[in-house]
Amino acid sequence: MPNIDQYIEANAARFEEELCEFLRIPSVSADPALRDDMQRAAEWVADQFRRLKLTPEIIPTAGHPMVYAETPVVAGAPTALVYGHYDVQPSDPLEKWTTPPFEPTRRDGNIVARGATDDKGQLLTHLKGLEAWMNVEGRLPINLKFIIEGEEEVGSHGLEKFIVEHSDKLACDCVVISDGSQFAPGVPAVTYGLRGIAYYELHVIGPNRDLHSGSFGGSVTNPANALAGILNGLIDKDGRVTIPGFYDDVVPLSDRERKEMAALPFDEKEFFAQIGVDGAIGEAGYTVLERRWTRPTFDVCGIWGGYQGEGAKTVLPSRAAAKFSFRLVPNQDPAEVSVGLKTRLAELCPPGVKTELIDLHGAPGVLVPLDSPYIEAAARAIEHAFGRRPVFTREGGSIPIVTTFHQQLGADALLIGWGQDDDNTHSPNEKFSLADFHRGIKASAKLWEELSK
Ligand code: BES
Ligand code: ZN
């Protein structure tokens, strides 16, 4: 595809400018004050299709709009559905950013901004791969459908409903998603597994008002102490979750998979040094990669209650609360985790307080078969653009909608992330390598040719 690659090289600077334009829109789906910016981001995506003379639809949802577009029909050719999300995570804590989150800046070969890697930069590679074909050849060798949503970071509720109600419109042979990572710099990957999630908020409620901790301490259950005990009781000393039945449906790792993971060039020391911690913890009997990719976990994401101001205040708080999640693996069912969690909470809750559990969201984990022709097509496209065959990885993060695509459309996902583990996803100074941005565009364009074979 010399002409298409040349087009991509010749337009590289403009692609970067457009990426910056996209990144300047603060499309934080969780922030109700930024609704107009969400609409603006959807319009920006739709405009990318309009420039190629396609007719995108902006589809409203109860939350933020989605953008849908399709290319002219190529009879007899396969259909790929490209999924991505234009929404981003909140940018706090703002003071930790070297440059403002919505003022994209080039630094050390990266573009630094909220959404750079998750997922604006990655999703744009597919829009530019499409552009290259349309402007060089005037047509694509396969059928492409695009669904770009604005609610991935808050649960994909609108898209979920849309897929169920409009499975005909989205019918496809495979779903292409770039919303994850390569294995390491210079080591591209095809991802065949994602973890699922079950996310909760727990309130521990005690006396009817805050109390003097001297007058009352020791005679009344302290909700903050109780919360600490409950959370601590959800995991044992071997790092295993103590919910009854939690591991019953976990698909065990095969010897072959363990061997393949062990053969990946992963440097544990370097991994921990990079994040500034001095060693590994986790479930006994598993390596760090196995723990991150293939084993379920429990993590507190936020915790509050009692006095948080300056200095000391001797108070026994009337309530305390936490947000926490379990990352799940195939074939754990988030609904069953919720049932087991309630049983375990009843065991762990001490007398003198009561608990209120809010089930925030859940999604099962994903495993895609490695023997599909689509995987091989992706491997060839990646080799063309990155100069080396991809390794096969699983990832610890979740893309809940992948399961819905599978269940409703019968289509497996082709997970080809262009990011890196240290991209600061959901964290200050999020970045995306510009070299990978351009390689991702080339791989995307090549993929359409490979899928047509
Ligand atoms: N892009 C991530 C998912 C991801 C992260 C894939 C790391 C592979 C590696 C996505 O935008 C995300 O953050 N998803 C959430 C889902 C949650 C809100 C249900 C996640 O994993 O926390
Ligand atoms: Zn994402």
Which pLDDT value is given to residue 401?
96
Which pLDDT value is given to residue 21?
98
Distance CA 303, CA 322 (A): 4
Rounding to the nearest 10 degrees, give the CA dihedral for residues 239, 242, 244, 246: -30
According to DSSP, the β-strands at 391-395 and 354-363 are unpaired
Ligand 1 mean position to 306 CA, how many Å?
31
Q: Distance between alpha carbon 270 and the CA centroid of its chain, in Å?
A: 23
What is the set of active-site residues? 87, 152
400 lines ligand 1 (CB under 6 A): yes
| CATH class of segment(s) 196-250+296-363 | alpha beta
pLDDT digits (tens, 9 = 90+) for 254-303: 999 999 999 999 999 999 999 999 988 999 999 999 999 999 999 999 99
Q: How far apart are the first and last CA of the chain?
A: 14
pLDDT digits (tens, 9 = 90+) for 168-190: 999 999 999 999 999 999 999 99
- Name which residue sits closest to atom 18 of ligand 1, judged by CA: 153
Mapped to the 3 state alphabet, what secondary structure does 164-220 carry?
HHCCCCCCCCEEEECCCECCECCECEEEEEECEEEEEEEEEECCCCCEEHHHHECCE
Which pLDDT value is given to residue 226?
98
Which pLDDT value is given to residue 335?
98
What own/partner pairs with CB < 8 Å and gap ≥ 24 does 43-50 have? 44/86, 45/86, 45/127, 45/148, 48/127, 48/131, 49/127, 49/146
Ligand 2 mean position to 119 CA, how many Å?
5
Which pLDDT value is given to residue 372?
87
118 lines ligand 1 (CB under 6 A): yes
- Name which residue sits closest to atom 1 of ligand 1, judged by CA: 179
366 lines ligand 1 (CB under 6 A): no
| pTM of the model as a whole | 0.93
Contact by Cβ (8 Å): 61, 151 = yes
The alpha carbon dihedral of 429, 432, 433, 435 has a sign of negative
Give the CATH superfamily of 2-194+365-452: Zn peptidases (3.40.630.10)
197 lines ligand 1 (CB under 6 A): yes
Ligand 2 mean position to 38 CA, how many Å?
16
The tokens describing 186, both together, are: 């210079």
58 confidence band (pLDDT: 50, 70, 90): very high
**SS3 for 46?**
helix
Distance CA 171, CA 84 (A): 17
Give percent above pLDDT 90 in the chain: 98
pLDDT digits (tens, 9 = 90+) for 401-410: 999 999 999 9
Q: Number of C-alpha atoms within 13 angstroms, CB side, residue 69?
A: 21
| pLDDT above 80 for 2 | no
The single-letter code of the amino acid at 321 is A
For the chain, the structural domain boundaries read: 2-194+365-452, 196-250+296-363
Contact by Cβ (8 Å): 54, 133 = no
Does residue 330 have a cis bond before it (omega within 30 degrees)?
Answer: no
Average pLDDT, the chain: 97
